[in-house]
Amino acid sequence: MLFQVVAVLILMLLLKRYALGPIMNVMNERQEYIEKQISSAEESRKEAEKMVSEQKEALARSRQEAKELLERARAQKEREAEEIIRDARERADRMISEARSEIASEKEKAIKELRDQVGVLSVSLASKVMEKELDPKDQAKLVDQYLDQVGELQ
């Protein structure tokens, strides 16, 4: 029996040295490999979360920039529209003013021509009434007098 106990003890020492030692080393190496994989996965997850947050910030900045760009474009459009309207109004006012001055000029011209014709007709009528023809100098003098009287009446 003593021999069996010694044989079991020797067998246990041999198993521990040649079988359990390498198996434990393999198990420890496997455990370290798994821990490294877990820590690597954890680092990758943290890095991915960091990248996601950076992408969200970049997206928010891009949206803000787009919004500001649209606001600037809208403001520019409104300024240009106001400027176009203002220019059109100024042009229309200028055209109206020019038209009024042209109308006034044409009116004065028409009144002058009308006065000249009235004067000539009046002299012609007066000469027929008097049955004598006036010379051009007397006729011009008579026309001027008549025009002065017509001007005073207006």
Domain locations in the chain as residue ranges: 44-153
Alpha carbon distance 11, 3 (integer Å): 12
How far apart (Å, rounded) are the C-alpha atoms in residues 26 and 39? Answer: 20
Give the pTM. Answer: 0.43
pLDDT-wise least confident of 21-25, 70-74, 135-139, 148-152: 148-152
pLDDT, tens digit, 9 for 90 and up, residues 49-58: 999 999 999 9
Q: Is 39 strand, coil or helix?
A: helix
Q: Is the Cα dihedral 48, 54, 58, 64 positive or negative?
A: positive
If pLDDT is split at 50, 70 and 90, which confidence band does 97 have? very high
The Cα–Cα gap between 91 and 116 comes to 37
pLDDT digits (tens, 9 = 90+) for 71-86: 999 999 999 999 999 9
